Structure 1
Amino acid sequence: MSALRVVGGHRLSGEITPQGAKNEALQILCAVLLTEEPVTIHNIPNIVDVNKLIELLGDMGVQVERLGPDSYRFTAKHVNLEFLESPEYRKKAASLRGSIMVLGPLLARFGKSRIPRPGGDKIGRRRLDTHFLGFQSLGAKFNYESDSQFYSIDASNLQGTYILLDEASVTGTANVLMAAVLARGTTTLYNAACEPYIQQLSNMLNRMGARISGIGSNLLTIEGVERLGGTEHTMLPDMIEIGSFIGMAAMTGSELTIKNVRVDMLGMIPDVFRRLGIKLEIRGDDIYVPRQESYQIESFIDGSIMTIADAPWPGFTPDLLSIVLVTAIQAKGTVLVHQKMFESRLFFVDKLIDMGAQIILCDPHRATVIGMDRKNSLKGIKMTSPDIRAGVALLIAALSAKGESIIYAADQIDRGYSHIVERLQKLGAKLERIESEG
């Protein structure tokens, strides 16, 4: 396990380009299993979770060709379903939550699949019911083997139907969508997630020959087709990285330009950071964050304390609440951060409190941040990253703090952020990767 040594208190400057979207990659990559023809994908982020999934696809028999630093061609002509019975498959799939996304394509094309309970962040319960209830509505029969902790699914007779998802799950929507494109008849998917990642997947599938309408809404209609062909696809920039860089610029009092952000796909993300008092400008398809000595959190019209909460798209993404929370530490004013979807994602605030932040953890879902308006600096400490997003929030805090911080379990950050050390060093950040003690 690696760690990061961070010397805080240095301003950053320059330009940074976000990587491809991690959350889009995990579903787009699995969609290559839907066809035996080549699928070329560009702007793939070079991060641990994505690389593990590419490796898993290769183990399953998919021909993987690297065309460039972030471009690959996948040909799933010969998929080895027997690999799904192997101990190696169980080990790899169980360590990667994104492995759940192979189910929809395998069920659609081959009529069966197996998968162990996936891994991922330990941020509370993350239900798989939406996936399985959707498959079941299409006619799949599934069985959970408690001894082996494997899910086995028989989908030899998928039939289009009306499905009301029990929650607007992004991965659940993507998985059921991929299963439905090759089902017989028409599927109506209501309460579907409509995030840009789902829009990207839907448009890609249509280019492959699928018939999906209602893209961008929560009501998708899928007319099943007999087969899909190859295509070429470019992934969106990662909106979570974009938000992270905005928060990083504000906390460190830095001037940054974030390049090629696809402003049209960011939803309310820029406006939420503006509510924290951050002055950012849209320049073409770039976001310019000027250096600010102070930024003041807005109040609601009636004067009550600002609340920032997550919600399904086009609401604010839960992956950026950790960044909002840490950015508010040096703002002027008070904000209530309400994490509705995951009950353990705010538990990292104890490290921020140890650094000197004024935060009240109300319960597992809510934290009140009392901004210090730079009157006091955070101090560097030793801490451990519990998950991807909390890890970057701690990194932002360390970059703004006085003195040296050590962030253990930096591998968590690597799961979601590509070459983060080298990219931040180019902006003037003082950090390095070290071997973890013990």
Structure 2
Amino acid sequence: MGTFKIEGGHQLKGSIQPQGAKNEALQILCAVLLTPEKVTINNIPDIVDVNKLISLLKKLGVKVEKISKGKYTFQADNLDLKYLESDQFKIDGRGLRGSIMIVGPLLARFGRGYIPKPGGDKIGRRRLDTHFEGLIKLGAKFGYSKEEQFYGVEAKKLKGTYMLLEEASVTGTANIVMAAVLAEGQTSIYNAACEPYLQQLCKMLNRMGAKISGVGSNLLVIDGVDNLGGTEHTMLPDMIEIGSWIGLAAMTKSELTIKNVSWDDLGVIPNVFRKLGITVEKQGDDIHIPAHTDGYEIQSFIDGSILTIADAPWPGFTPDLLSIILVVATQARGSVLVHQKMFESRLFFVDKLIDMGAKIILCDPHRATVIGHDFKSTLKATTMTSPDIRAGVSLLIAALSAKGTSTIQNIEQIDRGYENIDERLRAIGAKIERV
């Protein structure tokens, strides 16, 4: 098990380039299964979760060729569908939550799709109902083996229909869209997720010959086509990484420039950090964070009540950045209530921050009140374990701001979502080593 050793309390300086978006990559890579033609994808992040999915696609028979760093071609013209019923697939599929999104494309193109109950972060229940309910509405027959925790859907031909999703699930919407593009007739998906990454998937599918309208809204209308062709696609920068670097700059009082952030796709993220008192400057398509030598002050609501920052479906604030917000607030002037609505275990990492000296009241599994130190009392170095990707990076930011040397164990969780994070942080002056 890998460990990071971090000497905190140092100011950082320079510029950092965000990696390709992890959550977009998992959708886009599954979409290559919809065509026998070659698909070229640029800006693929070199991270554990994405590499696991590429490995799974190879075992399924997809021809994968690495052209250069972050650039690959995929061709699914001769798949081994027997692999889906093998014991090895049951092991491989479990190791990655994003593997659920191979089901829609396989069902649409080959009439069947299987998946073991996927793994991923330990952040509370993450239901798969939206995925399968949508596929059933398109005409699929659903089966589930409780003993093996193995799901399957089969259909001779999918038929378009109207559906209202119970929740605006991003991966659920992606799976249903990928199935519907090859269905007979028209499919309308209301309460669809409309995150930039899902918009990217729809734009890519349209370039492949799909007919999807309403992209960017919560009502997607899809006219089914007989087949799709190849295309080339470039992924957006990772908005979660961009938010992580904003938080890092504030907590370490560092001047940082985050390069090529695709401002138009960041939504409310810059403004939420501004509410914490952080200066977020737009310089072309870059973000510049000046050194906050005098700290930063949390705004209150107009009526003077305590600021609440909560997650919500896009264009609301992404749940993946609430852990970062919570850490950044520990050194702000003022207090904030962080409300994590989607997952009930995601705030449990705050005990590690409390051990470091942070003033946090965990109200319940979904809410925490943070009373900022205003840098009058620095966090203390400690030994901790990363419970999931986002909490891991939040603890890493806390350690970089703390006095002394901290140790973070189970860094495989961080590597699942952040590419060569130690090398990239050393390049801007961080004292971090991988043990």
TM-score range, shorter chain: over 0.9
Match of 1:321?
A: 322
| Alignment partners' CA distance in 1, 2:205 and 2:98 | 19
Moved over 3 A (4+): none
Residue 228 of structure 1 aligns with an amino acid whose one-letter code is L
Please tell me the root mean square deviation across aligned C-alpha atoms, in Å: 0.4
TM-score normalised over the length of structure 2: 0.99
* Match status 1:115 vs 2:112: no
| Alignment partners' CA distance in 2, 1:300 and 1:398 | 30
Match of 2:269?
A: 269
| Alignment partners' CA distance in 2, 1:275 and 1:129 | 35
What is the CA-CA distance between 1:157 and the residue it aligns to?
A: 2.2
Match of 1:155?
A: 155
Unaligned 5+ runs, structure 2: none
| Alignment partners' CA distance in 1, 2:194 and 2:185 | 22
* Match status 1:60 vs 2:60: yes
Q: After superposition, where does 1:3-402 map in structure 2 within 5 Å?
A: 3-293=3-293, 294-402=295-403
Aligned length: 434
What is the CA-CA distance between 1:178 and the residue it aligns to?
A: 0.2
| Alignment partners' CA distance in 1, 2:36 and 2:159 | 22
What is the CA-CA distance between 1:113 and the residue it aligns to?
A: 1.5
Residue 230 of structure 1 aligns with an amino acid whose one-letter code is G
- Cα deviations across residues 306-332 of structure 1 (Å, max 9, x unaligned)? 000000000000000000000001100
| Alignment partners' CA distance in 1, 2:311 and 2:147 | 36
Of 141-150 and 372-381, deviating more is: 141-150
What is the CA-CA distance between 1:155 and the residue it aligns to?
A: 2.0
| Alignment partners' CA distance in 2, 1:357 and 1:55 | 41
Q: Secondary structure at the match of 1:148?
A: coil
What is the CA-CA distance between 1:85 and the residue it aligns to?
A: 1.2
TM-score normalised over the length of structure 1: 0.99
What is the CA-CA distance between 1:249 and the residue it aligns to?
A: 0.2
| Alignment partners' CA distance in 1, 2:307 and 2:146 | 45
- Cα deviations across residues 221-271 of structure 1 (Å, max 9, x unaligned)? 000000000000000000000000000000000000000000000000000
What is the CA-CA distance between 1:86 and the residue it aligns to?
A: 1.2
| Alignment partners' CA distance in 2, 1:345 and 1:115 | 25
- Cα deviations across residues 316-359 of structure 1 (Å, max 9, x unaligned)? 00000000000001100000000000000000000000000000
What is the CA-CA distance between 1:88 and the residue it aligns to?
A: 1.2
- Cα deviations across residues 343-396 of structure 1 (Å, max 9, x unaligned)? 000000000000000000000000000000000000000000000000000000
Match of 1:424?
A: 425
Of 83-92 and 167-176, deviating more is: 83-92
| Alignment partners' CA distance in 2, 1:101 and 1:26 | 8
- Cα deviations across residues 116-135 of structure 1 (Å, max 9, x unaligned)? 00000010000000000000
Residue 348 of structure 2 aligns with an amino acid whose one-letter code is F
What is the CA-CA distance between 1:152 and the residue it aligns to?
A: 1.6
| Alignment partners' CA distance in 2, 1:432 and 1:275 | 33
Residue 358 of structure 2 aligns with an amino acid whose one-letter code is A
| Alignment partners' CA distance in 2, 1:88 and 1:284 | 48
